[in-house]
Structure 1
Amino acid sequence: MTFDDKTRAFMDKIAKKGSVLGLDAMCLLMQALGDPQEQLQVIHVAGTNGKGSTCAMLQSILCLQGYRVGLYTSPAVFCYEERFSIDGAYIDAATFNAYMHRMEDAWQEVERQHGVCATIFEVETALAYLYFYEAGCDYVIMEVGMGGATDASNVLNHSLCSVFAAIGRDHMQFLGPDLESIARIKAGIMKAGGQAVSTWQEPKAAKVLEDVAKAGKTGLTFCDESKVKIKQRKPLCYDYKEFSDIEVPLEGSYQLQNSVLVLETIRTLRKLGVFISDAAVKEGMQKTVWQGRMECLCKEPLIYMDGAHNLPAAKRLWETLESDFTNKSITYIMGVLADKEYEEMLALLLPRAGHIYTVTPDNARALPAEKLQKTIENLSYAALACPSLEDALYQALQAGDDMILAFGSLSYLGDFKKIVKASVKE
């Protein structure tokens, strides 16, 4: 996206302010904008892994039913504007710049009157709410950025439905040291007297969700894994409760869990009076596109990339490799952020590696490729640190394994996809 000078200067200015826990500044910013979020029918999605895929499937289904549907996600993986979409179409530069100018006016008013400054993520989230409201969206799907209770997206007095994808250990420095602490913060998006839906969770996380729902008189429904009847694994096709022959085009064994969560959410929305036909569910699921999650970039040679960047996601990736790529030798291209549990990820995933090439993601929190190489060698595996993604891809193509898999951080997947498309001819 091309930011105009005014937008760029404002975004650079507030990005330097850093992050502040709490919703005080966000509430004041939304008040300055007229609280548009309170006029929206919001489906609020939290969780550690699977949020993005879940949101994409929900948007696709609701759009197929004929509704106008806004979707806000983070972080950006392939382009900045992908974070703000209506009916699958990204916001254009002129519209974004115009809205950001209005954000600056509201931000300055809040700073002048109250002496507080909203962060860059809070401003982006506020922009999304205002954009979706003024665009006349029937429904808005908001992905939580991090946590839940104090996330900027939670500046809501009510929501249509709170949705919980898989909850696991990530961002412990912000959310707490254990699964219960993390689950409790994520559970904070539930609204008193409202409705919530959750995928099957680890028992400790499920218990927290149940306790919070009970305290707030929130109707909480868990997906029932025992009701899943798999007919075909690749491409995935299954029955769930009253839904039959659900086909999911997204690869990765974890998409079963995500798509069942979507179906259970559809069941709850129907109970709330939202009309969604079986045909829209089936076609919407079939037409879902979500980049960077076990995405096949090239079939010959076989190249995949996956957004696995924390231990729970690594476990899901491992399950996919074991179930769908059992007999294939795999070359890894891997780059990670230094604040992730990458040593545990390595211990889990290295046994499947044929060759390993490390890279440094374009992110301030990135672990240098050389340090990742050393960590891998300390685990008794060979690895080569590469100076660039181009070099890593070149080395991987020479390795001669059956498949290349890039993973470890969302930060570099957009660039990697461009490099593969430019360098490899099927």
Structure 2
Amino acid sequence: MSTGTADLSPPAGAASSQAALDRVRRYLYEELGPQRGPAGTGLTRPRALLGALGNPQDRFRAVHVAGTAGKGSVSTFVAGLLRAHGFRVGAHLSPHVHSVLERFQLDGRPASAELVDAELDRIRPAVEVVEQAGHGRPSFFEVTNAVAFGLFADRVDYGVVETGLGGLLDSTNTISRADKLAVVTPIGLDHQDLLGATVGEIAAQKAGILPFAGRAVVARQGSAEAADALSAEAARRSCALRWVDLGPPAVQTWTGPGGTALRLRGQPPLSLGLTGRHQAGNAHLALRAVEALAARDGWALDADAVWLGLRSATLPGRFERRVIGGRTAVLDGAHNPMKLAALVATLQEVHPGARFPWVLAFKQDKDLDAALHVVAPAASVVVATEFCSTGGDHPAGTSVPAELVAAAAADRGIATAVEGNPVLAVRRAAQEADEAVPVVVSGSFHLLAAVHGATVPQ
């Protein structure tokens, strides 16, 4: 069914993948440098950058995904379902966990380093033009958006694009095609310093991706305040909303050691490639989004393709089972109360009645008390650590001091320890609990990146 015709192979005579990846890293982390110039300009700068590149963001059919929890999983399920139906698909995901190439998915795999390097060669002059025009230096995220859009333009049948932060002023919101399908996942409190103090204010930011006179598929919200904000903005934009229930009775699910299965009313169970009750809701939302695309674009859902698309979904850092020092570990990037609650629920379903040794580290913008409130009932011990490397192919930034994380855990009555080295923290946690349960590593994708090199797949 693919209509894309452009070649996605690396350019002829390209240098080795490692040399190309080194150039990509050097430009994004060193040569590009920090964002400079006027702040608070909204989408002016990313629009200028993409305009200088021929507006690649509007040269593919886009599915634009925003929300607080589940964006990456929903995007992955949507892309998998579309691929299983025979389409050529791009997916732009963030953040990456282990390699920057994870941000640029082509047909279910990270784009090659050579392709990304070649795209950056095309983008570099435009970055300079935008800065010289007085718009300021484009940010890392704006440039990676440009890379993804350039790779997708005129090459893929559908591009699935995850917002980075919020929606209204997120640089992915430069997509302006009238046929963009917006998808909104559950909304909760996160990034309150940037998006708003209340769920309603945050939802209004997320609603900024709704297309004018277009369509959106939206998760039924747990907060009336969030639902009202989405409805109000949809009405203002004349955007038709389809609300999707993520739980019973519409969605029945169960999770065990073998993974998660989803049953929709009147249909046989579907095995999911991602684990957790919340992933069943994410899969249902993705399925309804793809159903909307099929109805709009004149093709039909196929039961076998639906089974394959949901079963084949994989995503780093989402209940990712690894082995470190002979001990099973679950690596999960959950970093706010909403995501941590989903992780706790999944752990308790897979290991009923167990408590877990937990390794935690957080970025400095997180609410430690709220996070530890969620973790406390499921943790046997918390080993607090920090980001002590630039693992994961990106700078780690600044983490909360391990002593503060430990103090917040102790305030909740949890046994604690402090170990500044993340790999040693995992090994220390493994010594503190029954071998029948895994060590849980969460709080930040940066933490997952720091321990990943010492682990192997289970």
TM-score by length of structure 1 reads 0.92
Task: Name the counterpart of 1:283.
Answer: 308
Bigger Cα displacement from structure 2, 235-244 vs 377-386: 235-244
Report how many aligned residue pairs link the two structures: 422
Q: Which amino acid is the alignment partner of residue 213 of structure 2?
A: G
1:46 aligns with 2:46: no
Task: Name the counterpart of 1:418.
Answer: 453
CA shift at 1:145, angstroms?
A: 0.3
Contact 1:223 1:264 (8 Å CA) reproduced: yes
Q: Which amino acid is the alignment partner of residue 344 of structure 1?
A: A
1:151 aligns with 2:177: no
Query: Aligned match of 1:65 in 85, 96, 106?
Result: 85
TM-score by length of structure 2 reads 0.86
Q: Which amino acid is the alignment partner of residue 236 of structure 1?
A: T
C-alpha change, 1:7 and 1:310, in structure 2 (3 Å) is closer
CA distance in 1, matches of 2:357, 2:284: 31
CA distance in 1, matches of 2:250, 2:322: 30
Note the alpha carbon deviations across 1:208-246, whole angstroms, 9 max, x for none.
111111111111011134442526433333332565422
Secondary structure of the corresponding residue to residue 399 of structure 1: coil
CA shift at 1:11, angstroms?
A: 4.8
Note the alpha carbon deviations across 1:111-156, whole angstroms, 9 max, x for none.
234453322211110121111115x100000000000011110102
Contact 1:228 1:241 (8 Å CA) reproduced: yes
Unpaired runs of 5+ in structure 1? none
Contact 1:252 1:293 (8 Å CA) reproduced: no
Secondary structure of the corresponding residue to residue 339 of structure 2: helix
Bigger Cα displacement from structure 2, 232-241 vs 147-156: 232-241
Secondary structure of the corresponding residue to residue 455 of structure 2: helix
Query: Aligned match of 1:182 in 202, 218, 226?
Result: 202
Note the alpha carbon deviations across 1:363-383, whole angstroms, 9 max, x for none.
323112122112222333321
Q: Which amino acid is the alignment partner of residue 217 of structure 1?
A: S
CA distance in 1, matches of 2:165, 2:295: 29
Task: Name the counterpart of 2:44.
Answer: 24
Secondary structure of the corresponding residue to residue 234 of structure 2: helix
Task: Name the counterpart of 2:33.
Answer: 15
Contact 2:253 2:280 (8 Å CA) reproduced: no
Note the alpha carbon deviations across 1:161-202, whole angstroms, 9 max, x for none.
100111111011110111011000100001111110111212
Contact 2:23 2:117 (8 Å CA) reproduced: no
Q: Which amino acid is the alignment partner of residue 237 of structure 2?
A: G
Bigger Cα displacement from structure 2, 236-245 vs 282-291: 236-245
Note the alpha carbon deviations across 1:394-425, whole angstroms, 9 max, x for none.
21222232321111111121332331329xxx
Task: Name the counterpart of 1:306.
Answer: 332
CA distance in 2, matches of 1:372, 1:334: 8
C-alpha change, 1:172 and 1:115, in structure 2 (3 Å) is closer
Bigger Cα displacement from structure 2, 397-406 vs 81-90: 397-406
1:233 aligns with 2:287: no
CA distance in 2, matches of 1:231, 1:84: 31
C-alpha change, 1:204 and 1:18, in structure 2 (3 Å) is farther
CA shift at 1:252, angstroms?
A: 1.8
- What are the residue-to-residue correspondences of 1:256-267 with 2, within 5 Å? 256-267=280-291
Task: Name the counterpart of 2:11.
Answer: none
CA distance in 1, matches of 2:147, 2:317: 25
Task: Name the counterpart of 1:381.
Answer: 414
1:355 aligns with 2:381: yes
C-alpha change, 1:311 and 1:151, in structure 2 (3 Å) is same
Q: Which amino acid is the alignment partner of residue 339 of structure 2?
A: A
Task: Name the counterpart of 1:408.
Answer: 443
Task: Name the counterpart of 1:167.
Answer: 187
CA-atom RMSD, angstroms?
2.3
C-alpha change, 1:411 and 1:120, in structure 2 (3 Å) is same
Q: Which amino acid is the alignment partner of residue 392 of structure 1?
A: A
Task: Name the counterpart of 2:156.
Answer: 137
C-alpha change, 1:359 and 1:7, in structure 2 (3 Å) is closer
C-alpha change, 1:232 and 1:312, in structure 2 (3 Å) is closer
CA distance in 1, matches of 2:244, 2:28: 43
Task: Name the counterpart of 1:33.
Answer: 53
Give the % identical residues: 27
CA distance in 2, matches of 1:245, 1:115: 52
1:333 aligns with 2:359: yes
Task: Name the counterpart of 1:211.
Answer: 232
CA shift at 1:87, angstroms?
A: 0.4
Q: Which amino acid is the alignment partner of residue 164 of structure 1?
A: V
CA distance in 1, matches of 2:80, 2:297: 19
CA shift at 1:336, angstroms?
A: 1.2
Note the alpha carbon deviations across 1:233-269, whole angstroms, 9 max, x for none.
3333333256542221311221121111112112211
Contact 2:210 2:239 (8 Å CA) reproduced: yes
Secondary structure of the corresponding residue to residue 419 of structure 1: coil
1:293 aligns with 2:318: yes
CA distance in 2, matches of 1:36, 1:241: 40
C-alpha change, 1:23 and 1:389, in structure 2 (3 Å) is same
CA distance in 2, matches of 1:231, 1:178: 31
Contact 1:229 1:239 (8 Å CA) reproduced: yes
CA distance in 2, matches of 1:161, 1:260: 16
Task: Name the counterpart of 1:396.
Answer: 429
Task: Name the counterpart of 1:85.
Answer: 105
Bigger Cα displacement from structure 2, 171-180 vs 316-325: 316-325
CA distance in 2, matches of 1:6, 1:352: 41
Bigger Cα displacement from structure 2, 310-319 vs 21-30: 310-319
Task: Name the counterpart of 1:366.
Answer: 399
C-alpha change, 1:307 and 1:11, in structure 2 (3 Å) is closer
Note the alpha carbon deviations across 1:324-357, whole angstroms, 9 max, x for none.
3222231111111121012111122113221221
CA shift at 1:90, angstroms?
A: 1.3
Bigger Cα displacement from structure 2, 17-26 vs 44-53: 17-26
Contact 1:339 1:365 (8 Å CA) reproduced: no
